[in-house]
Amino acid sequence: MTPEESEKIAATGTVFFQNIPFLIFGSGLFGVYILAYIVCMNTILRKESSGRAHKALVVLLLAGFVMVVSYSCAKIVFNLLLVKFSFMVSLSGGFIAQEMAANLKSIAPNILEEWTGNFTPSPLLIVLLTLKNVNKLTAYLGSTETLDWLSIVLNLTVNIVATLLIAYRAWTHHRSARAILRNKKTQVQAILLLMVESGAIFGVVQLANIIIQALDIHNVSLEINDVFFFLQSCIYSVLP
């Protein structure tokens, strides 16, 4: 075995080791999502309602289920088949150049991955895919440009503002209904509180992502981004 082949095997083993935690956590979380979705759909389908709102809710839940399943299966299959497509010819730029080439090759699978979860592709989807892959490339290369930090801060700001607005709405609803319902929690209050709690959890994850990026731990940062996207899909798909 040549030194170049040994280096390729070592690099591939490193990638496998980095992907194992997400594969285990993602598979477990996917099982929890399937269970929660079955319970949610069982509750909704038992309700005697034939209105358009009820049908639209079922369609939206099915669409969310298809997107989450497509995303999860694509991630799992990608990690399982990585050994077949990870080896490449050594480049003159060293390991960094090889990593850039591998990331560029992953753009097409990412497009297919997102395409399977969206029934009506639009120019906005193409822009989001481009930004997603640019973000991955810059994170792998250790870039801490102003645009990256601006995106992180903007996402955190939007989450904080949205969570505060929902919390304010929940508080006003509680005050207006307190005298009538005698401090009993309504379904609207339960949903609003769930949205506030999920927003707070996402805020903590985003803060952890900022801290990790500030400490220059890029691989962990990418894993947190993937887990954050998966959690967001799971929670908001079964929210109704």
Best CA proximity match to 78, nearest among 19, 121, 33, 126: 19
pLDDT of residue 81: 74
pLDDT beneath 50, residues of the chain: 112, 114-122, 124-125, 141-144, 218-221, 235-240
CA distance 60 to 58: 5
pLDDT of residue 239: 45
Predicted local confidence at residue 229, as pLDDT:
54
pLDDT in tens, 17-56: 777 777 777 788 788 888 888 887 887 777 776 777 777 7
Residue 33 confidence (pLDDT): 81
Task: Tell me the pTM.
Answer: 0.41
Q: CA 160 to CA 196: how far, in whole Å?
A: 10
Identity (one letter) of the amino acid at 204?
Answer: V
Residues 6+ apart with CB under 8 A from 138: 145, 148
Rounded CA-CA distance 41/38 in Å is 5
Residue pLDDT, tens place only, 135-162: 555 555 444 456 667 777 777 888 888 8
- The predicted structure's pLDDT at residue 154: 78
Domain boundaries, the chain: 145-215
Q: What is the pLDDT of residue 4?
A: 73
Neighbouring C-beta atoms of residue 148, cutoff 10 Å: 15
